[in-house]
Amino acid sequence: MCQSCALNARALSGRPCHPGNAMTRNLLTPWRLPRVLALAAAISCAGLNAIGSNEAVAAPHAPVWEVYALRYATVPAFPVHELVTGADTTRKIDIAMMFWLLKGPAGRRVLVDAGFYRQKFLDSWKPADFVRPSEVVQRFGIAPDSITDIIVSHIHWDHVDGADLFPNARIWIQRAEYEHYVGAGGAPLDAQIDTVDAAMLASLNHAGRVKLVEGDAQELLPGITAYIGGKHTFESQYVGVRTAKGTVVVASDNMYLYENLDKHVPIAQTLDAKSNLAAQDRMKKLASAPRLIVPGHDPAVFVRFKKSGRGAVRIE
């Protein structure tokens, strides 16, 4: 395994990582690193200690949301050990590429993450059954221009790239995440963010559409609270959502698979494994039941929950 592989840069395609291979050269370019849902360099574990479950208690009259997972693609044969620390290196899984829709009161339509759509990612990853995220939303019966908000869990291409498909959405991202990755002129400040996505975020920010979230346990909208933790990227976040069944936690890549939670094993792509486990422990306290913690790429999400149209399930 070459050094870039050791840094987690193994091609999903299973192609070997040899110097001189065109794909390998790609692996070393800044945009290639996020391609493997990758880790970064800095380590910081601010504010990630598990805290008491009483913080999960919502205000008595908090609005109630419906949570849906929407699938827009599949990446076949992804190595499980790149998702679950210490997993058998021969195991592969067809990972679900998904984002989440929160339907709330008064026409509020919120996405958690927005998938990807740019051709460079399609060319590189060749996902199966790809549907552009805006079309997935449309197919679900919601006009893309009626999406009011997008909460970006982190800046990796497969979560942020689709943000500009939703022309009226306000983009919520942790300030520390944004400032770590996006330069003033839209230049990428770290290899974890793709250059086009850094430019896109800067452009949305310039247009006044980016709302920077100021740290942990911030209620973005009544009934939707953002939590930092997991250290999938510099300041990745996840959300707790008040639903009729209690609090659902949309973990995104702060917990890749159910296996992370079930085996109490950190995600393989984290800047700080201990803080990732602490974040997962905290999710268990925040969620009203463990089944209400929704991982970032587990295809089982679409088996465990009831179908709600093509490629969609309702989380309880």
Q: Does 75 bind Zn ion (CB under 5 A)?
A: no
Encoded one letter per residue, x for contact with Zn ion by CB under 5 A and - for no contact, window 93-132 reads: ----------------------------------------
Stretch that binds Zn ion, among 87-95, 99-107, 150-158, 285-293 (CB under 5 A): 150-158
CB of 123 to Zn ion, least distance (A): 18
Cβ proximity to Zn ion: between 104 and 127 the closer is: 127
Asked whether position 253 contacts Zn ion by CB under 5 A, the answer is yes
Segment lying near Zn ion (by CB under 5 A), choices 125-133, 151-159, 165-173, 186-194: 151-159
Using CB under 5 A, count the residues that bind Zn ion.
3
**Contact window for Zn ion (CB under 5 A) among 37-45, 110-118, 188-196, 229-237:** 37-45
**158 is an interface residue for Zn ion by CB under 5 A:** yes
82 versus 216: smaller Cβ distance to Zn ion: 82
- Which residue, 36 or 110, is less far from Zn ion as judged by CB? 36
State the nearest-atom distance from the C-beta of 29 to Zn ion, in Å: 19
CB 312 within 8 A of CB 70: yes
Query: Minimum CB separation from Zn ion for residue 252, in Å?
Result: 7
- Pick between residue 92 and residue 245 the one whose CB is nearest to Zn ion: 92
User: Is residue 40 close enough to count as binding Zn ion by CB under 5 A?
Assistant: no
Q: Which of 37, 93, 171, 312 binds Zn ion (CB under 5 A)?
A: 37
What's the closest the beta carbon of residue 246 comes to Zn ion, in angstroms? 26
Residue 155 interacts with Zn ion (CB under 5 A): yes or no: no
- Residue 244's Cβ-count burial label (10 Å; 0-12, 13-18, 19+) is exposed
Residue 37 or 198: the one with the smaller Cβ distance to Zn ion is 37
End-to-end alpha-carbon separation of the chain, Å?
43
Stretch that binds Zn ion, among 34-42, 212-220, 240-248, 261-269 (CB under 5 A): 34-42
Smallest separation, CB 279 to Zn ion (Å): 16
Query: DSSP assignment of the chain, as one string?
Result: --HHHHTT---TT-----TT-HHHHHHHSTTHHHHTT---S----TT-S---GGGGPPPTT---BEEEEEEEEEEEEEEGGGTBTT--TT-EEEEEEEEEEEE-GGG-EEEE------HHHHHHH--BT---HHHHHHHTT--GGG--EEE-S---HHHHGGGGGSTT-EEEEEHHHHHHHB-TTS-BSSTTS-HHHHHHHHHHHHTT-EEEE-SSSEEEETTEEEEE-S-SSTT-EEEEEEETTEEEEEEETTS-SHHHHHHT--BSS-S-HHHHHHHHHHHHHHSSSGGGEEESS-TTHHHHSEE-STTEEE--
State in angstroms the smallest separation of the CB of 280 from Zn ion.
16
Q: Which residues of this chain interact with Zn ion, rule CB under 5 A?
A: 37, 158, 253
